[in-house]
Amino acid sequence: MTETRKIIEREVLMNGTQAVANAAMYADVDVVAAYPIRPYTEVMDTISKLIADGELDAEFIVAEGEHGQFETVKHASLVGARTLVGSSGVGWLYAMEAIVVTATDRAPVVAIIGNRALDDPGAYGVEHNDAMMVRDVGWLLAWVDTAQEAFDTTLIAYRVGEDPRVLVPVGISMDGGFLTHSEQIVRLPPKELVKDFLPPYNRGKYLVHPDNPITVAPQVNEDWVMEIRRQHDEAVERARGVIVEAYESFKKVFGRYPGSTSEIEMPENPFVEPFMIDDAEIVLIGMGTVSKPMKVAIKKMRNQGYKVGMLRIRWFRPFPTQDVIKYLSQAKVVCVIDRDYSIGSPNRGGVIYHEIRSSLYDLDQRPKVLNFIGGLGGREITIQDVEKIIKIGYEHRDTPITKPVYWVGVRGDPW
């Protein structure tokens, strides 16, 4: 437990994208590369206004497309500039070549991903498959569920990604529409405190500069690729400890745990948010704003005698395997709500479902795991949907699972 101090914060009404932009201004970013695609775009709208109003001194570069957008920040990061970039849906995927080499070149870019369905068919609503396209290539990935958490996590992203022990890019995912456009009260700490939390970005001997001739991205093939991949994996693993340090430091500097406010008490765990989980027989799993209907339904069902709780995943990469084991090993049934899909996968389940099952597989006694795919294309997951999920979980408490995967509210497929 770290010591906290009383800080007078400013309350501002803003949405999730505006919160990220303001955090980037607090972090004093040097280079911002923009290209529009909803629902992330308001990050760039807000940044451009902050620059125009003289609140931020940064290079604002409008690229010709997403590929150029991400190439711009990658190169800027390698020469020592603190950067911000972002995209959504197919825009994020259009930049995928640049996004992958941003990680393999160890450029600690910070990107906001306003989660959006992948066209076709056209859809602006939230799905998580866009951000998950980088889950295996060395990006750190966090999912936030409030504007406050978006602001706080952005500052943390710079500190973690730029740490010399890590040096990898960080993606901050937020649900399109549900968080990118919904306004909430955000507590902004005094800007002068940021220097006590976020040191200057310093690449040291890895800085690309005429006075420091080094080779970046050489052709190495079978001679060195395996060693480089292993080094990258070890950097992401080291990020676990760096993330813990960053959250503790945030609390010490700003006087509250990241994501928490005087009204919201966030459990002191960077990687997951447990909710009413201690005696829970049925545990719901989810990422992002689905936690809101989950919490309401859990409180309601608790009043009816159901022992149910929730575990929200805050950091998806590195995956919180030990926290998953800690909080789920005593549960009877785990109900994973995926706002994504993995077509053709084992059991035809979602991505998080498979990550949870894999984390629990080596336990001698492990809970049953059910999967609920829902909310695709921006469709709402209602409190009533969650109540039904909880009841299905209870039905399988003492009976074998015959149907592991449900699609929530699909026409023509009663569930």
Element (H, E) at 26: helix 16-26
Q: What is the predicted pLDDT for the residue at 260?
A: 92
CB 115 within 8 A of CB 176: yes
Q: Is the pLDDT of residue 4 over 90?
A: no
Return d(Cα 56, Cα 348) in angstroms, integer. 47
For 62-86, how does the pLDDT look when each residue is reduced to its tens digit (9 = 90+)?
A: 999 999 999 999 999 999 999 999 9
Q: What is the β-pairing status of strands 83-87 and 282-286? A: unpaired
Q: What is the predicted pLDDT for the residue at 279?
A: 96
CB 298 within 8 A of CB 284: yes
Q: DSSP secondary-structure letter at 263?
A: S
Secondary structure (DSSP) of 297-318? HHHHHHHTT--EEEEEESEEES
CB 31 within 8 A of CB 197: no
Residue 2: pLDDT band (50, 70, 90) is low
Please state the φ and ψ torsions of residue 316, each to the nearest 5 degrees.
-90, -30
Q: What is the predicted pLDDT for the residue at 413?
A: 80
CB count in 10 Å sphere of residue 314: 26
For 272-290, how does the pLDDT look when each residue is reduced to its tens digit (9 = 90+)?
A: 999 999 999 999 999 999 9
Q: What is the predicted pLDDT for the residue at 7?
A: 83
Per DSSP, the three-state class of 345 is coil
Secondary structure (DSSP) of 367-380? -EEEEEE--GGG--
Return d(Cα 187, Cα 197) in angstroms, integer. 17
Contacting residues for 265 by C-beta, under 8 A, at least 6 apart: none
Residue with tokens 């609920």: 372
Return d(Cα 182, Cα 141) in angstroms, integer. 22
CB 281 within 8 A of CB 397: yes
The predicted model gives 313-336 an average pLDDT of 97
Per DSSP, the three-state class of 84 is strand
Let me know how long the chain is: 415
Return d(Cα 231, Cα 234) in angstroms, integer. 5
Q: Is the pLDDT of residue 317 over 90?
A: yes
Question: What single-letter amino acid sits at 148?
Answer: Q
For 11-33, how does the pLDDT look when each residue is reduced to its tens digit (9 = 90+)?
A: 999 999 999 999 999 999 999 99
Helix (DSSP H) and strand (DSSP E) numbers for the chain: 13, 15
pTM given for the model: 0.96
CB count in 10 Å sphere of residue 403: 11
Q: Is the pLDDT of residue 233 over 70?
A: yes
CB count in 10 Å sphere of residue 28: 17
